[in-house]
Structure 1
Amino acid sequence: MDIQVQYRSAAGRTCRDEPAAVRGVRLEERQPLSEPRAYKGRTSILTKWTSATTGQAVWCASTVQMDAAMLLDFDPDIVCFQSRVAQVHWELEGQRGTVEPAFVARTRDGRRLVFAHPARDEAELEERVLREAADGAGWEIRPLRVPQGVLRSSLASAAHFSGPEFAADDDARRVLLEAFARPRPLQAGAAASGLGLRAPGYAWHLVWTGELTCDWTKPLLPTSPVWASQAAAAKEA
């Protein structure tokens, strides 16, 4: 099987190389090959997710993909991710096709992850193509995870406060972590911190960053108990 990866160079030019030539290339930092386009009869909704991790706009071809982007953005192990930055072109016995990963990401320890859409072909040819490309390029393939139900709605609530404008300075952060040294309602703990009107936004932001945590199996509300996480304790240490 002949396999090539299409992507943009650091200068923005479209390139096509064998998978081995892409090993170590930070595709997650490159510009998308294209933006999704609306057209008459399209059933999915075009949208984009603004990553709180990097500030990049991540194009999504559906609300399902946007929910998956939200979950990736929430993952503390992911430092950068992007969509539509790689296409895997294949040719086999006179047949040709293209497989496009949902996202390409990089972890804190430098691993490259490729998140695959659910397979569309019963013969699993797309899965085989992506696996062979990953072997050459040094990618780890991960299934696309999409938050559902309570987790989705709770993440969406916290994501409203994911932006840097809600980030507390070091002193305010320390006060809030002390206020939530034991579980207490989010709104009540924020009020008890003495940090004024911005305290609730600070607290919600700390939930998003994982320094405050909660029971994610239950709806996240202003009255939900939250508490300082082990991640926050490790950071303080």
Structure 2
Amino acid sequence: MWVVFMVASLRSVSGGRLADPVEFEVGFVGEDGSEVRRRLVEVADVPFERVPAVRSFPSYRGQRNYPGLYWSACMSAHVEFESWLERDEAMALDFDASVVGFAAQPFWLWWPSTGRVRSHAPDFFARRRDGVGVVVDCRPADRIAARDAAAFAATAQACEWVGWDYRLVSGHDAVWLANVRWLAGYRHPRHLAEPVAQRLLDLFASPMPLMQAATRVGDPMAVLPVLFHLLWSQLLTVDMAVRLEATSIVEAGW
């Protein structure tokens, strides 16, 4: 449910020759806290979903962006963000059942461009269950200047060479995001209370309205947090393109 600015469009905006694979270098924080710098072809197996950020996230009076920390359920740890769009993307990555981990600002990418060396630190690196890495940048479409487009295009090309996916996110579907935000309030595993969870899973073996099932299991005040956690975990499913409400049809996710 991402609004993605196509990489092909980035290349047409950026113009110029992209660097060759051997010209790219990657810098990141090693296990001992020291700076590591390697050629792009040497970092395919680095677990960037678990590395510290390569730069700080400043906070100061009057700044236009909004940095903060998002607690990730799949990581059981906080992940930094620098804007509301990045926060929403962190939440989207956390909700994505195919993602097993992700980190913010995981590495610097360096490459030669028009007689000088350029650098870019992507916003996120995620690891999918199939082992494939996903590099994510977040930028509203109306704020992508030519220089930004060139950096995003170079990053997309580097990802293609190393075998990662690349995604430039400029927004999220409003209804889908509102549903995810609501469910994110119940993402902590403390909401997985038994035997209520199993009773809900059994009941939703046949699709039925959300509140109807909750009242059949017990007091909705106690049952609904469990139900919402199961929806967050996608053990239960619902149409996320439609606003979540009492009459939403829910069913088991297997």
Q: What TM-score bracket applies, with the shorter chain setting the length?
A: 0.7 to 0.9
Q: Identify which of 93, 96, 101 aligns with 2:122.
A: 101
**Is the 8 Å Cα contact of residues 191 and 200 (structure 1) preserved in structure 2?**
no
Q: Which residue does 1:61 correspond to in 2?
A: 82
Contact 1:35 1:59 in 2 (8 A): no
SS at match of 2:131: coil
Give the secondary-structure state (helix, strand or coil) at the position aligned to 2:100: strand
1:218 matched residue in structure 2: 242
Amino acid at match of 1:122: A
CA distance in 2, matches of 1:14, 1:224: 53
What is the identity, as a one-letter code, of the residue corresponding to 1:192? R
**Corresponding residue number in structure 2 for 1:228:** 251
Q: What is residue 44 of structure 1 aligned with on the other side?
A: 65
CA distance, structure 1, for counterparts of residue 96 and residue 212 of structure 2:
27
Tell me the alpha carbon deviations over residues 159-183 of structure 1, each in whole angstroms, 9 at most, x when there is no partner.
10010110134x4332102222333
Structure 2 CA distance, aligned partners of 1:196 and 1:217?
A: 24
Q: CA deviation at 1:20?
A: 1.4
1:146 Cα shift?
Answer: 3.4
Task: Report SS of the residue matched to 2:171.
Answer: coil
Q: Which residue of 1 aligns with 2:167?
A: 142
How far did 1:84 drift?
1.1
Residue 135 of structure 2 corresponds to residue 110 of structure 1: no
- Equivalent position of 1:122 in the other structure: 146
- C-alpha separation in 1, matches of 2:159 and 2:54: 19
Deviations 1:183-208 (A, max 9, x none): 33323312211477532111010111
For residue 53 of structure 2, what is the aligned residue in structure 1? 32
Counterpart CA distance in 2 for 1:142 and 1:201 is 32
Of 185, 188, 191 in structure 2, the residue corresponding to residue 163 of structure 1 is 188
Residue ranges of structure 1 left out of the alignment (5+ in a row) = 233-237
State the one-letter code of the partner of 2:120.
V
**Deviations 1:130-152 (CA, angstroms, capped at 9, x unpaired):** 13432453322123263232111
Letter in 2 for 1:103: F
1:146 match: secondary structure:
strand
Q: For residue 215 of structure 1, what is the amino acid of its counterpart? A: D
CA contact 1:79–1:108 (8 Å) conserved in 2: yes
Inter-CA distance 84–196: structure 2 relative to 1 (3 Å threshold): same
**CA RMSD in angstroms, aligned pairs only:** 2.2
> Corresponding residue for 2:196?
172
For residues 24-78 of structure 1, the C-alpha deviation after alignment (integer angstroms, 9 at most, x for no partner) is 0001111112331023442111122111111121111001111111111111000
More RCO (CA 8 Å, sep 6+)? 2
Compute the TM-score of the two structures, normalised by the length of structure 1: 0.86
Distance 1:32 1:135 in 2: 22
**How many correspondences in the alignment?**
229
Aligned partner letter, 1:45: Y
Q: Distance in 2 between matches of 1:26 and 1:162?
A: 24
Partner secondary structure for residue 37 of structure 1: coil
Aligned-pair CA distance for 1:98: 1.5
Determine what percentage of the aligned residue pairs are the same residue: 24
**Please, which runs of 5 or more residues in structure 2 have no aligned partner?**
1-18
